[in-house]
Chains A and B, each alone.
Chain A
């Protein structure tokens, strides 16, 4: 009932967007204010319809109406309320819904704050995008075509041919399939909304560009469009940062950036948007670069639509770890991008001759030229990333069935561009605030250059950099930071409100330094055995069982309970056990690892988690998932997860056992190997099944019990306790080494414990650690010491990457306030 209402409301909103579009177009063409007023009201009406429809979706999710495909597919009964709410935008349909809602809200802001002559054409474009976005989820089943996939469709509509639907059309599942555990994270609640805020706001410069071309007013649109574009960039940047942090901390991607298509999809619009901001600043300051700012404002939005197409149409299905499933929207998405591109670029080309061009070329040493260069570099970087991400399409020109490009492709191209950009930011900033000749520029650059050289040399020496290319890169990074900081200091003296741009450029430099430092020095944490194994692999000395040389180094090591192990010659790492808990996830184990620095004795603990994936685990098969722990520090992050443990292995074996017992074909159970060995240190206790073995101490052996020519003869006092009954039994097994005909033999006579049907022998001794090995027969419980398998990495200077990002965000924020305040001022004056 509610769902039907939701569906109807959505259809209403879809129709309204169509009408609104027509009204705004008419108002823009005829310059009719009363029509515009009606259109504004219709826009508010559409907002109400959308809100009600979203409320309906939230309602059916909250009330667990699993007959609806969306509810069944993304939620389950046990989902916490906060995640039930975020499941609203957890799927493809709902995420479109969120995008539409936010974009509608942006439209309300535009209605309120946009002045003539732009309001009607700007709102026309906004309505057009709403129309396209709504068409993705309106879910109309016309006889000749289907338009969109509705979040309100039922399972019966989704799978009409499924046998259980044909048997019982009113079938309602008892429970849903639930949200992927990886999405049950606070990041999931804030990351998508911020992305869609960015997407929606990035529509605004596009809309203003179209409006400018429409009304032939090419100068004025920059002022109102600039704050919106800055805000869009801030949102996208925040979303990229949150996504990177989420991937790093929770999703165990192993890093903050992987050139994944979905990551690129948010980066490219940001780059082109930033390019647009540079062009807009040139235009605002000096009435140049009209063409560039219009073009880039159009392209930033086209990039968003194009990347939406790539990630949502199923084109990237093989390439991305997190692309959406194809909802059959391919045609519609293609239409969306074609219409937007043709409208934007077509209009642009149509008016091209009309666009103002500068009277004379700007000089090389001018703020216009430098800022424009920055803009073009950003655009080029964006294009390169688009080419790489589009490999399933563009790659077809080269090979059949193309794979994504190697990561190297992105690195090879972005690094030199970043270096050029780095130099351009400094020169650009100096020229931006003051006119310079070559001589005067050289004069003001001396101090920053000296400082940069010092910082670079120090970094190269400390970082043991030997690659000349990296040296240049590091120089460029420091130059950006130091050169812009010098500028920042003089600006703060003049007027602190102006520092936005300078601050972003410092952030960019810090980011460059952070990226190189964190990626070049990231390395696995390994124990000494694995490290020496890897050294042998590197030397080509290791062969696998088939005789092939092993080329892959190991990036993990195992730890035994309470056995401190030296790792990277830096830390003594001790596995101290795990805790089982049912909160927040049932069956979750929290492992406790103690790190002690051998240099300064500093101690910290790491708590990685392993948990069964609720949504997909069944009685016959548990799927384990890991949650890494990141120990964040100023200098280094430690990233660690448990890749395997005795507990998990035992659980899996138990399940296998159960499955085998249930399988009538395999009725014969395998004979358990009843002989086991146990290693115990002096004073230690070890649990094995229902027994506990305690090695109390060594006792001397009597001469007459020993064979002739004995070299070593000793007994160990071992207390064996049957834990359930508390009965204890002390044994003193003998261990001796003797020679016969110059050959050494060991002598370990077994001691029988009749009560428990068990024999114990003392089979080895490790004098250096006062540890003995006992061999026990007849103990049918599997004994194994507790162990964990650890994958860990040291990632230095990740904090610098975050710092760079925060500086960028701070700079953008300051600029938004500055440009917004000026826009408000002009409004009041009029």
Chain B
């Protein structure tokens, strides 16, 4: 019984540490655009800056827009796919990619599902119409 128990505990410890090591390596931290400048891959959280031009260009086959990160830095983001569904509605965006020359090249883009998210401002619009 004894050696079996020790073996079992060893296996569990080994498994857990391997899992945690691997997990630790597979996550990274959210950064802002300034910090992203010196990193290989970054996750940046922010909101769409709708006061500036955005859209898909058929020449470059990219979707581009301006995004304001949580610290207020605004940068142009390019995304090599079409505009995702729900883009305009998203209350928050997460872009994953690389910063080059003040332009963020996103490989992935996540949008916070907006259907469950409303605040008073939208109600004001509803009132007007």
Contact = CB atoms under 8 A, between A and B. Distances in A.
A and B interact: yes
A652 B54 CA distance: 12
A384 B19 contact: yes
A177 B81 contact: no
Instruction: Identify the 10 closest CB pairs spanning chains A and B, nearest first.
Output: A643-B82, A180-B115, A409-B26, A405-B26, A399-B29, A552-B80, A398-B24, A162-B120, A325-B116, A403-B43
Interface string A404-427: 111011001100000000000000
A404 B28 CA distance: 8
Nearest to B31: A401
Given A546-B101, A555-B81, A412 B126 contact: no
A321 interface: yes
Given A391-B27, A552-B105, A321 B110 contact: yes
Nearest to A388: B23
A402 B29 contact: yes
B39 interface: no
B9 interface: no
B51 interface: no
Contacts of A558: 58
B49 to A, nearest CB: 15
B37 to A, nearest CB: 14
Given A175-B126, A321-B113, A644-B82, A409 B23 contact: yes
A691 B124 CA distance: 45
A451 interface: no
Nearest to A252: B85
Given A159-B123, A552-B105, A552-B107, A401 B30 contact: yes
A556 interface: yes
Contacts of A174: 126-127, 129
B34 interface: no
A556 B61 contact: yes
Contacts of B86: 182, 613, 623, 625
Interface of A: 72-73, 91-92, 155, 159, 162, 164, 171, 173-177, 179-180, 182-183, 251-252, 317-325, 380, 384, 387-388, 391, 394-395, 397-406, 408-409, 412-413, 546, 548, 552-556, 558, 613, 616, 618, 621, 623-626, 643-644, 652, 789, 791
A554 B58 contact: no
Interface residues of B, number: 51
Contacts of B45: 318
A400 B80 CA distance: 29
A376 B2 CA distance: 21
20 contacts: A91-B116, A174-B126, A177-B122, A182-B85, A318-B110, A318-B112, A384-B19, A387-B19, A401-B29, A403-B28, A403-B30, A403-B43, A404-B27, A408-B26, A409-B22, A552-B80, A554-B80, A616-B114, A644-B58, A789-B58
Interface in B30-86: 30, 43, 45, 55-56, 58, 61, 80-83, 85-86
Contacts of B15: 380
Contacts of A388: 23, 26
Given A321-B110, A555-B81, A791-B82, A164 B127 contact: yes
Contact of A613 (B26, B29, B30, B89): B89
Is chain A's interface secondary structure helix, strand, loop, or mixed overall? Answer: loop
A173 B123 contact: yes
A560 to B, nearest CB: 12
A744 B89 CA distance: 56
A398 B22 contact: no
Contacts of B24: 397-398
Given A409-B26, A412-B22, A556 B120 contact: no
Nearest to A548: B100
A182 B92 CA distance: 18
Nearest to B88: A623
Given A173-B123, A322-B113, A789-B58, 15 more contacts: A72-B126, A73-B118, A162-B120, A171-B127, A177-B122, A319-B94, A324-B116, A391-B23, A403-B43, A546-B100, A554-B61, A556-B61, A616-B114, A623-B89, A643-B81
A360 B83 CA distance: 63
B2 to A, nearest CB: 13
A491 to B, nearest CB: 34
B61 A621 contact: no
B84 to A, nearest CB: 9
A391 B30 CA distance: 12
A348 B56 CA distance: 58
A325 B117 CA distance: 6
Contacts of B58: 558, 644, 789
B27 A399 contact: yes
A319 B111 CA distance: 9
Contacts of A400: 29
A315 to B, nearest CB: 13
A413 B92 contact: no
Contacts of B56: 643-644, 789
Given A155-B123, A552-B107, A403 B113 contact: no
A406 B100 CA distance: 22
A378 to B, nearest CB: 15
B43 to A, nearest CB: 4
Nearest to A394: B23
Contact of A321 (B107, B111, B124): B111
A177 to B, nearest CB: 6
A384 B103 CA distance: 36
A331 to B, nearest CB: 20
B67 to A, nearest CB: 14
Given A616-B88, A644-B82, A173 B127 contact: yes
